[in-house]
Chain A
Amino acid sequence: MPFENLPDLVPVLPEIFLALVIMSLLMFGVFQRGGRAETDVNTFRVISWMAVVTLIVTPLLVLSLAGSTLIGFGGLFISDPFSVFCKILVLIGSAGSLVMARNFLEEHDMARFEYPVLVVFATLGMLMMISANDLISLYMGLEMQSLSLYVIAAFRRDDTRSTEAGLKYFVLGAVASGMFLYGASLIYGFAGTTNFTILEQVLQRDTQDEYGQSLGIIFGIVFILSALAFKVSAVPFHMWTPDVYEGAPTPVTALFAIAPKIAALALFMRVMVGPFGDLISEWRQIIIFISVGSMLLGALAAINQRNIKRMMAYSSISHVGFALMGLAVGHDSGIRAILVYLTIYLFMNIGTFACILAMRRGGVMVEAIDELAGLGKTHPLMAAAMTVFMFSMAGIPPLAGFFGKLYIFLSVIQAELYLLAVIGVLTSVVGSFYYLRVIRLMYFEDPDEPLDRPVSREISLIATLAGLVTVLFFLYPDFLVLSAATASSALFLN
């Protein structure tokens, strides 16, 4: 056997580790003697904790690759500071949502061991997306992530809303995949390659100037952009988000709002500024359009919502709009701002969803925003945490959310996109209305019937941690900003 032909496996270590863990957890679960409810729940618990430990160990493996750019499998796979940064965010998000899920799943009769396995599968797909250096490997990662998410959206299979959410997500996601493949085939047809590094050389500005713009490439970019906009739920492709967020079981919604968003935005950045970076004049207007659209719709449509999961769906749409503003800037400072924004978004969202998961009455989940009325009197600590997250999302200083927006606006103004910045600030003001309404409900209304106490330990732990990060971020922002700067500069090395 020719060992010198073995591919270099070092850059792919975290992915290989996750894949091996998935398969062993699966085997462990399958060979557990099932059938009785208690043993099933026990298996679920064990596998769930093992999955959480795996997701906490993997960042260490990822970190061991930090600081260098490694390319594996003949250019299909890349590990650079950018991918390390985004992978750690994704892993934190997945681990957090898995920890929060345990209690909910056990109480709602969904404690089957496939859930943590599928979450780790989705995470593996996200890592592969972030590290993709080729349109084919990008597609593979995207599909692995999406397929696992379709299944867990419908995980509560006896509930019509959950199955509807899964089906809706699946059908629309399949359409988006089709668009992506069509765009990728156009790019391949017109550029002769799917590899990002070579695409970047082929599409360089000088060759473009010499031979003119190729319409086919632009066509392909637009298709790929639409597919990615679907995955991050940016505006013309956002329709699935509120329904899926509302229908899916709440821990699944928490996962949807955090990890896949970060992974898809990371992908968005890599594809746009990497291979298509020199064509920025072609795609910038599209990004500006979807960014403005997402911010406007996210701010206006959330006002009328009664269901807190729907409200969070619109909130996430507007957050994506803000992040995409940084992409419209197109160079180093914009990408850095997005990375800072995403990190803060991660902690705010984990915390908010921890609070949402604690909204239970008589052991059953309640989802209406009005149920939060009087929370300040019945659950002062939870109300305080929720207040921190809502203020932070609205962007009130000195909470973390303010800094996220600050860096984005700074980079947008540096790039002289003044109109975009003005629209961003205005929608941010409109958006703060519905965040503040939650706070008003909690402190200035009387409770009908208090929510359940005590809140489970894992959920309060996560809410506390996320709350501390959100509140204390302003003391030491340098660490995050500096590492985001290292990560973003990796995208612009050549």
Chain B
Amino acid sequence: MIEALAFYIFSSIAVAAAFMVISARNPVHSVLFLILTFFNVAGMFVILGAEFLAMILVVVYVGAVAVLFMFVVMMLDINFVELRQGFLNYLPIGSLIGLVMLIELATLFGSWVVTPVIANRGLMPTPSPDITTNTHALGNIVYTHYVYLFQAAGMILLVAMIGAIVLTHRNRPGVKKQDIGRQLNRNPANSVEIRKVEIGKGI
């Protein structure tokens, strides 16, 4: 009973907030509504028993991604009203294409046949939550079964980092940089000078 109630509260707020994300006039409000959506979806994950995903969603999406969006929105000053101007003109053709794709999807799912070979496999992979915790199961998949993919993903991120540096980093002369070694090497003898200033005169 309480579970159903919580589900309806979370899901209705999530849908409403998601709608507000795309309809709010002020982009800052949009991002705030996006954060609200994330929180509610996290709540639904908790109901599903996926507590690890819920926490990750809050930490990563609310904590990092949404804040990043907020920075972008505030710093770039994009005029979203202008971007959205052609929206009504394209609505008929857009909805027509959407309808066609919907019909295609419907025919696709209409022909869905599950052979027993596949049905048996589908039941296999998820361990029951009574035996193991979420975090443990995910860790087992990522770091044991899929360690190859995990390492490969790491290498791909390294390529991305090298790429970004290669394509954008330039050696610009005349830029003042903090050189910690030099800072630490300074001593009073060569950086402070004591002078006697006569009264009534400058240096």
Instruction: Give the B-binding residues of A (Cβ under 8 A).
Output: 5, 7, 12, 19, 22-23, 26, 34-35, 72-74, 76-77, 112, 114, 117-118, 121, 124, 128, 136-137, 140-141, 143-144, 147-148, 150-151, 154-155, 157, 166, 190-193, 198, 201-202, 207, 210-212, 214-216, 219
Contact = CB atoms under 8 A, between A and B. Distances in A.
Interface stretch (B28-36, B67-75, B147-155): B147-155
A198 B153 contact: no
A215 B111 contact: yes
Interface string B150-164: 011101101110110
Interface stretch (B16-24, B51-59, B91-99, B112-120): B112-120
Nearest to A122: B159
3 closest residue pairs by CB, A with B: A151-B163, A140-B152, A73-B148
23 contacts: A22-B155, A35-B171, A73-B146, A76-B146, A114-B162, A118-B159, A121-B162, A140-B152, A144-B156, A147-B160, A148-B159, A150-B163, A151-B159, A155-B166, A192-B118, A193-B121, A198-B121, A201-B117, A202-B117, A207-B115, A211-B113, A212-B113, A214-B111
Contacts of A219: 108
Given A148-B163, A150-B163, A190 B152 contact: no
B144 interface: yes
Nearest to B118: A192
Given A124-B155, A148-B163, A151-B166, 6 more contacts: A7-B148, A117-B162, A140-B152, A147-B160, A151-B167, A211-B113
Contacts of B156: 140, 143-144, 147
B145 interface: yes
A43 to B, nearest CB: 14
Contact of A74 (B113, B121, B145, B159): B145
SS class of chain B's interface: helix, strand, loop or mixed? helix
Interface residues of B, number: 31
Contacts of B144: 5
Contacts of B148: 7, 12, 72-73, 76-77, 137
Given A74-B145, A77-B148, A198-B121, A214 B155 contact: no
B152 A144 contact: yes
Given A114-B166, A192-B118, A140 B159 contact: no
A229 to B, nearest CB: 21
A202 B113 CA distance: 13
Contacts of B152: 128, 137, 140-141, 144
A332 B123 CA distance: 36
A351 B66 CA distance: 52
Nearest to A148: B159
A208 to B, nearest CB: 9
Contacts of B155: 19, 22, 121, 124, 144
Contacts of A72: 148
B13 to A, nearest CB: 29
B111 A202 contact: no
Interface in B62-109: 107-108
Nearest to A140: B152
A151 B163 CA distance: 6
Contacts of A190: 112, 118
Interface string B119-156: 10110000000000000000000001111110111011
Contacts of A118: 159, 162-163, 166
B162 A26 contact: yes
B111 A216 contact: yes
Given A73-B148, A141-B152, A207-B117, A154 B167 contact: yes
Nearest to A144: B156
Nearest to A214: B113
A475 B145 CA distance: 49
Contacts of B108: 215-216, 219
B8 to A, nearest CB: 28
A141 B148 CA distance: 11
Contact of A112 (B158, B163, B166): B166
A282 to B, nearest CB: 14
Contacts of A144: 152, 155-156, 159
A160 to B, nearest CB: 14
Contact of A192 (B122, B160, B166): B122
